[in-house]
Copies of this chain bind each other. A is one copy, B any other.
């Protein structure tokens, strides 16, 4: 199934982004005030054209005028940041930028663990949630050490936007597994404050969905009929 999403934002340079619930680059594109069309892809029945645009058959893919493409969330996000940013998301300091890349790599562990849980809630046991919490403590401590509301400082930066889509979905754990999977407010005070601050960011607001909508989507996906209409 291929279809255009309802949303089209016209703000600058044109581009197409394919996705299936992969929204890393969306916060960036929103933040960078770009124009783009969204083409959702049914990843349960991948269309042939997806492999033309990305030989790995994965999303997201960014297609620009002329038909050339990029894939990989982080490669796309860094490209957009370098090419179009009116407010750079990466630090200008190469050391800080490198440290942020390592944080983003580390957060991929959280993403992989979360994704497995979302796609198969039977895996939602104490051990797997404890593993996620173990990884998140590094981020709590790092945010505390940086002493600013965001990893990027006074405003969200690359780390914040790369983390956000998954933090927006973190309430799914509670919805799917009950209150026992809530993060401790005492243990994760900084991340809780960060999350509230992120919700007030304009780029986040633009794509924000309530946790119950995310849960509805994942339930429809688990049922074999992913309902993308929920997401657009």
Question: For the complex, what is the distance from the CA of A105 to the CA of B68, rounded to whole Å?
Answer: 18
A171 CB to nearest chain B CB (Å): 28
6 nearest interchain CB pairs? Answer: A82-B94, A79-B98, A83-B94, A75-B101, A70-B98, A75-B98
- This chain: copies in complex: 2
Q: Residue A99 at the B interface, CB < 8 A?
A: yes
Contacts of A68 on B, CB cut-off 8 Å? Answer: 95
Contacts of A78 on B, CB cut-off 8 Å? Answer: 98, 101
| SS class, residues of chain A in contact with chain B | helix
Contacts of A76 on B, CB cut-off 8 Å? Answer: 98
Contacts of A71 on B, CB cut-off 8 Å? Answer: 102
We find that the number of chain A residues with CB closer than 8 angstroms to chain B is 19
Q: Residue A140 at the B interface, CB < 8 A?
A: no
Between-chain CB contacts (< 8 Å), 25 pairs: A64-B95, A68-B95, A70-B95, A70-B98, A70-B99, A70-B102, A71-B102, A72-B101, A72-B102, A72-B105, A75-B98, A75-B101, A75-B102, A75-B105, A76-B98, A78-B98, A78-B101, A79-B94, A79-B95, A79-B97, A79-B98, A82-B94, A82-B97, A83-B94, A83-B95
Question: For the complex, what is the distance from the CA of A102 to the CA of B98, rounded to whole Å?
Answer: 18
Which residues of A73-104 have CB atoms within 8 Å of chain B's CB atoms? 75-76, 78-79, 82-83, 94-95, 97-99, 101-102
